[in-house]
Amino acid sequence: MNDPLSRVLGQKVAGTRVVPLMLKIVVIFTIFLLVSNFTTNYINLMLNRGEQIRLLNQLLVKDLKEMHVFANNQFEIFTFNPDEAAAVRNLENAAMRNHRGERSVSFGVSPEGDLFFHAAEMSAPDRFGDERALEQMNAELAEGVEEGTLNFEHLGYQYFGVYKYNSSWDMFQLRAEELNEFYADSVRIFRNVSFIIVGITMIFALVGIFILRFILRFVRVITDNIMRMQSDQALQLMDLKGAPNDDITYLGVAFNSLANTIDNLMGIFKKFVARDVAAKAYREREIRLEGTKRELTILFTDIKSFTFMTETLGTDIIKLLNLHYDQAIRRIHAFHGDIGSIIGDALLAIFGTVQEDAENKSLQGLRSAYSIIDVASNLRTEMHKRREQILQQRGSLTEEEENVYRAVLLEVGVGLDGGQVFYGNIGSYERMVNTVIGDNVNSSARLEGLTRFYKVPVICSEYIKDEVLEHSDEYRFVELDRVQVKGKTLGKKIFWPVQTSEMDQDLVDDLHSFTEGLHQYYQGEWPEAQRHFETCKLSIADVFRERITGKTAPEGWNGIWTMTEK
């Protein structure tokens, strides 16, 4: 916008210069004005030249008559005194007195073309050089016409003149003016008037520019706003304050109305699709059925005891879900996640779909996981406060109210996994959805299910652990087990990410005991493992105490526990 050329000729958009409307109007009207004025001036010149030729003809005829009378008088003198040279000299001197220009000529020419006399500032030729003009005069003389007008060439110049046959001397007498010299004044006037026309037109063009700039000022406002929106790939409302009530302002108002509608639709659209899908649709103006392999982080969260909640709350379960999801989704978006799907009590979120978020996708996913846990915890705290208020007011709750109270005490589990998945749009061009498909997606759901079994809020895979530790030390990853979930043939390590900011010495000691017990458990030293588990106060140790108490490791033990249910 700071380029002076762009200010005058307009900015380039996608390689094409957008020429300002005002410039086009000024240029076109300036051209029209110049052409109109020059045409008028030229027509005036031509009309004046016609009138000049008429006046010139009258003057030349007058001069020729005087020359003809003088020539006849000279012939009478020549009859008494046959001195031809003196007669020629007298004719030339008399003719020169009527000449007005440097190239004015008067001469006598015989029917054969020989010059009898030549009155001019220029040197006289031997013969009259324009044979065509000579033939014209002879032809008209043969028809009895002794005088007329004549256009001819003489000494390299174009002349207009009149002639008359003098029978006494047997010659044609010509009086003529060179055309360029004769028209010189009119050409000079035409040139001067043309300069005046150009000057006046330029002055009025400048005045017109200022007037048009003022009248069309909001065209520039609208154009600049649209160009900025196109560059930013975002619709905005134009500031039309102070705009006049004309059709240009109406276009701006109509655009604002359309932009507001599209912006609302885009806002609605973004609520149903991931950020990258919305951005691509805005950029490419279409959504295609396509997908690619992407390395993403998948978060799966589910509400525990949902069947009891549904039976207790009935249709009010929708209000509770919306209350929970409103906060949970806000937290996911705050950590640059996108919602993949919501199915009743389950929510799937994806991290890393936008390129700039890809590097820290697992860390952002883990932060979102604990933020979702906090949302449920805050809701339980709020419900507990309301229960206490009712107890203070009434002393007790009915059995139905107690059931409702237990139903609204939301508890959620979160599973996290990541890796190569298929990410894209599936369905048809009539109806499509953006989805993520892959083993790691299913694994995240399995890991969430294990939170109920191991009594921890969040469980993640080794992939999440490794990627988070590359960028942050805000979590300590406690290995929980090596499990083979139902439907899988291979075992994998699962981890409980613990926020280091929440750890105290007791927790550190308990985690140490659990880790030592788990190591012995993997080695098949179950009695020794049980001893460590007994010193651990964490609920996860209960799982292993129940699993190994009074038992020994089975034959061929590899440390992998096979789950019999999802």
pLDDT band at 391 (very low <50, low <70, confident <90, very high): confident
Exposed, middle or buried by CB within 10 Å (0-12, 13-18, 19+), for 551?
A: exposed
Poorest-pLDDT segment among 221-230, 306-315, 370-379: 221-230
CA distance 148 to 64: 11
CA nearest neighbour of 407 among 325, 301, 314: 314
Helix (H) or strand (E) holding 447: helix 439-454
232 assigned to some structural domain: no
CA distance 65 to 61: 6
Domain CATH number, residue 322: 3.30.70.1230
Are 305 and 453 in a shared domain? yes
127 assigned to some structural domain: yes
pLDDT of 185 > 80? The answer is no
Assign residue 285 a region: left if phi > 0, alpha if psi is -120 to 50, beta otherwise? left
Selection from 15-24, 284-293, 486-495 with the highest mean pLDDT: 486-495
Are 39 and 171 in a shared domain? yes
Are 539 and 434 in a shared domain? no
- What residues make up the domain containing 449? 289-472
CA distance 213 to 206: 10
pLDDT of 415 > 90? The answer is yes
- Percent of residues, the chain, with pLDDT higher than 70: 84
Residue with the two structure tokens 């508890």? 411
198 assigned to some structural domain: no
Are 338 and 481 in a shared domain? no
Are 35 and 128 in a shared domain? yes
Q: How many domains does the chain have?
A: 3
- Residues near 47 by Cβ (< 8 Å), separated by ≥ 6? none
Poorest-pLDDT segment among 5-14, 26-35, 180-189, 191-200: 5-14
Identity (one letter) of the amino acid at 219? V
Are 415 and 505 in a shared domain? no
pLDDT band at 1 (very low <50, low <70, confident <90, very high): very low
Residues 118-161: tens digit of each pLDDT: 999 888 888 898 999 999 999 999 999 999 989 999 988 999 88
255 assigned to some structural domain: no
Are 170 and 87 in a shared domain? yes
| Mean pLDDT score, 441-445 | 91
Q: Is 216 helix (H, G, I), strand (E, B) or coil?
A: coil
231 assigned to some structural domain: no
pLDDT of 178 > 80? The answer is yes
278 assigned to some structural domain: no
CA distance 178 to 187: 14
- Residues near 416 by Cβ (< 8 Å), separated by ≥ 6? 297, 298, 299, 300, 362, 365, 366, 369, 444, 447, 458, 459, 460, 461, 464
Q: Domain boundary at 472, 498, 521, which?
A: 472
Residue 260, token pair as written in the block: 């507001």
Are 160 and 140 in a shared domain? yes
Are 55 and 174 in a shared domain? yes
Residue 178, token pair as written in the block: 């060179």
Helix (H) or strand (E) holding 54: helix 21-80
Q: Domain boundary at 128, 159, 187, which?
A: 187
Cβ–Cβ < 8 Å for 483, 496: no
CA distance 516 to 509: 11
Are 304 and 375 in a shared domain? yes
Are 497 and 420 in a shared domain? no
274 assigned to some structural domain: no
Are 450 and 559 in a shared domain? no
Whole-number pLDDT of residue 245: 66
Average pLDDT, whole number, for the chain?
83
pLDDT of 544 > 50? The answer is yes
Identity (one letter) of the amino acid at 371? S
Whole-number pLDDT of residue 543: 92
Domain CATH number, residue 143: 3.30.450.20
| Mean pLDDT score, 443-462 | 93
CA distance 239 to 257: 12
Whole-number pLDDT of residue 283: 58
42 assigned to some structural domain: yes
Q: Domain boundary at 421, 444, 472, which?
A: 472
Poorest-pLDDT segment among 87-96, 243-252, 540-549: 243-252
pLDDT band at 450 (very low <50, low <70, confident <90, very high): very high
Identity (one letter) of the amino acid at 183? Y
Regarding predicted confidence, which is higher, 75 or 14? 75
Cβ–Cβ < 8 Å for 372, 359: no
